[in-house]
Amino acid sequence: MDIIFIDELRLSTLVGIYPREKAMPQTIELSLQIGTPTARAGASDAIGDTIDYAAVVDRLRRELAERHFNLLEKLAEYVAELLLKDFGASWVRVSIAKIGMLRGVRRVGVIIERTASA
């Protein structure tokens, strides 16, 4: 399995349970590891044989700008499902962090791993 990674992507979205988090978008930091179902791209040199990371980033920016999630866990599940179902990933690791949410804490967040259903 080949793994494509996207590190420290910053996006704006509504996430949280507190009134201010529901009213004002905040910046989150997203890091992804995306398992590709085959290693054909290394031989073919064709974008069609892999997952286009630019398309992933564009889609996430659009989707997350339009949604609200109460919990980072739900947001992570949404991202994982999108990568597995819509982009054909065979495995994903999704790391999502809120930046500067707590005094004296740089980042808080979650990391999940999911595998495509057979």
Residues assigned a catalytic role: 98
Residue 102's Cβ-side half-sphere holds a number of Cα atoms within 13 Å equal to 7
- In the chain, where does DSSP find H-type helix? 19-23, 40-44, 53-65, 72-85
> Which residue type occupies 36?
T
